[in-house]
Amino acid sequence: MTERIHYTATRAKYPSSVHPVRTALPLFFLAAGGLVAVIDTILIFTHASQGIDSTVLATMVAFRFNALVKVAQAFTAVGSIKVTIALVAVAAVALWFTKHRTQAYVLAGAVATSAAFTWAVKIFVHRGRPDLQYRIGQVEDPYSFPSGHSLNSTVFYGTLAVIALYSAISMAKKTVITILCVLMPLLIGVGRLYLAHHWFTDVLAGWAVGIAWVGIVGLVYARLEQRAYKRSQPVGAQTQQASHAVHTPQPKHQVQAQTQAQMADHPRPQPSAHPGSSAQVEVHRYPQHQPQQSEQSRQVQRFPAHNEPAGGPASYPPSYPPQSKN
């Protein structure tokens, strides 16, 4: 049974656009994947990739075994566009009926756009596949760059990993799902190389563009989930959440400037001088602290000694008896 994915208030404490993890990791995927894809494309158009492409192709052909060929064909079938569309449909329907409609939209949209992008780039680049004498099996089209199996499978399984990581399932389940979603595109891409359906740079470009695509999906999905959570909260809860937002400390120079501005708006009163001086200084007199008297001293002041006049102060300490007068 599919577990309900809750976007809890703890994870919604930070806006998705400034969350340290949700923003940094997708941006890293986007930057790293885009950089590798650009470098790979430059190598292809400058014909600098012929050496590595020929070396990888010769290595795969030299280490072919019947058992490994069948495994490669199985992963190729799983990564085909027909099977991928079927898997996306099943996953989207399952998410829809378990009330995960945002996840269903994101998954279907990510794979649909990646498939359209793959076909457009193939027609534009128009790169040929390896020679027919090295291939095993049939291919869908004569165009090689980029590898559609690698790109679309990376986007599909990467989006599933993003949905799992944003869910409320246990960390053990998230780890297992993420590992499987990483292994599947890798095995599918290696299978395409093993069957000589693509050059190495074709598969590398598919992985790189797919990783960048997953980064975009992560950013979009985080923003959609944040908006959905805010719409589900009452107005009072949103106000309370905003009041408990994380305080970002201001720089020291800004704090000093604000303090000086407040002091300028509310100046302190200047004291005036004593009478007779050049400046009038007003002296504020505060009641001085009177030390507490001991019980003996209070008794001495209250009851004068027998040789002192009534009301007069005693001229000796209370611990020493008075001497009689001759």
Q: Look at residue 17 in the predicted model and tell me its pLDDT.
A: 41
**Number of other CB atoms surrounding residue 19 within 10 Å:** 16
CA-closest candidate to residue 99, choices 159, 167, 17: 167
What is the mean pLDDT, run by run of 10 residues, along the chain of 326 residues?
44 47 79 92 88 90 90 92 92 88 88 92 88 84 88 93 83 90 94 91 93 90 73 56 51 70 64 51 50 54 51 50 52
Q: Supply the pTM of this predicted model.
A: 0.65
Please, are residues 147 and 35 in contact by the beta-carbon 8 Å criterion? Answer: no
Residue 135's pLDDT is what?
86
pLDDT at 10 (0 to 100): 44
Please list the residues that pair with 128 across neighbouring strands.
Answer: 143
| Residue in the structure block whose two tokens are 């989930």 | 225
Residue 320 to residue 326: CA distance in whole angstroms: 19
Cβ pair 143, 105 in contact under 8 A: no
Contact yes or no for 64/135 (Cβ under 8 A): no
Give the other-Cβ count within 10 Å of 104's Cβ.
20
C-alpha closest to that of 113 among 79, 159, 165? 159
Residue 174 makes CB contacts below 8 A (sequence gap 6+) with 164, 165, 167
Q: Which residues partner with 143 through β-bridges?
A: 128
> For position 275, what pLDDT does the model report?
52
Query: Would you state the pLDDT for residue 16?
Result: 42
The answer to whether the beta carbons of residues 70 and 93 sit under 8 Å apart is no
- Residue 279 CB neighbours (<10 A): 9
